[in-house]
Every structure is written in C-alpha cells, then in structure tokens.
Amino acid sequence: MWWRRPQAVLKYHRNIVRYLIKKERNPMSGLITGLVLLALGALAAASSLVARRPDAKAYIELMIPYQGWFGFITCLWGVWIIISAIINLNWFGYVPVWWLTYLATGVLIASLGLLLGYALLTKYILNHSAEAVQRGEQIRAIIVPYQTMLGYAAIVLGLWTIVATFLYRIV
C-alpha cells in the first residue's frame, strides 16, 4: 500500500523534497504569490465584497487606479507560472499537492490578470495583430461571467498558498 512505504523509500523521498526546496531561489515566493492572489481576488470580486462589507469599499478604492497595470503584470506573471509548472512536472511525483497548487495559482493569476488588465494588454501586446485582438476578446468573453467566482477562488487559493508555503518548508 502507498501509506506503508519502507523507511528507505521515505528517506529517499524526503531527500528529494529537500533538494527541490533548496533549489528554489526565493523560499518565500509562495507568500508573495498568496498576497498577490488575495489582492487580485479582492479586485475581481469587488462588487460582491462591497455589498457584503461596506467598510471594504475604502480599501478596494485604493487599488482601483492601479488595477490595469496590476492586471497586466500579473497576467504575464501567471503565464510564466504556468510555463514553469509544466517545466517542473516532475514535482508532481514528489510533492503533488504543491505542484497542483502551483498550477492552479498560475491559471488563476493569468485569467484574473487578463480580466483586470485587458485594456492595457490590447494596447501594448495584442494591437499588432487583428487576429490576436479577436482571440483575446474571445478568451475574455469566456472568463467575464465567472469573474466574481474566480475572485473568491483566488482569495481561497491565496490563503491556501500562504499556509502551504509554511507547511512545505518543514520537511
């Protein structure tokens, strides 16, 4: 059974996980990613959050002027996380929960970044090709109905990422 591994396999597995964690350049990058997910989730679900908690409006209004640039940068960052997760597919064999968290984080950051920074993305990246603008609009049209749900998912995943950052440091 998978839960009754011999001690030698557990020791080997533990050493591989330690190697993967030591290989990481910034050990607290998960904390930064979790905080970015919380901010993206708050911006994406702003109308719903303000309806539930009117005192949150003041904090969300502080972030709204920077929403386009924040979305633009995080969309590119999310694409990079997705590429990095695919490159590091071998993590799935050693730390599958962390790899799935990593991939889900990339997908959420890229999709919410696309929603929040779409105007700047079309202005600076997609404007060179009419086909790219059309494809970007199609992707945006698919994601827009789920914006509030994606915002709440980003808040939950952001909290989990912060917790998992500390959980997976202790090996």
pLDDT tens by residue, 87-143: 988 888 878 888 898 899 999 999 999 888 887 877 777 778 888 888 888 888 888
pLDDT of residue 38: 93
pLDDT of residue 3: 46
State the Cα–Cα distance between residues 69 and 65, nearest whole angstrom. Answer: 9
pLDDT of residue 72: 87
The model's pLDDT over 3-59, given as tens digits with 9 standing for 90+, comes to 444 444 455 555 555 555 555 556 677 889 899 999 999 888 887 877 788 887 888
Question: Can you read off the two tokens belonging to residue 58?
Answer: 């003041």
Whether pLDDT at 1 is above 50: no
pLDDT of residue 7: 46
For residue 44, give the nearest of 153, 167, 136, 163 by alpha carbon. 153
Question: Can you read off the two tokens belonging to residue 92?
Answer: 């799935």
> How many Å is the maximal CA-CA distance in the chain?
59
pLDDT of residue 55: 82
pLDDT of residue 23: 52
pLDDT of residue 164: 84
Q: How many CB atoms lie within 10 A of CB 158?
A: 23
What's the Cα-to-Cα distance from 130 to each of 55, 122, 125, 133, rounded to whole Å? 42, 10, 11, 5
Using N-to-C axis directions, what is the helix angle for 29-44 and 67-87, rounded to 10°?
Answer: 130
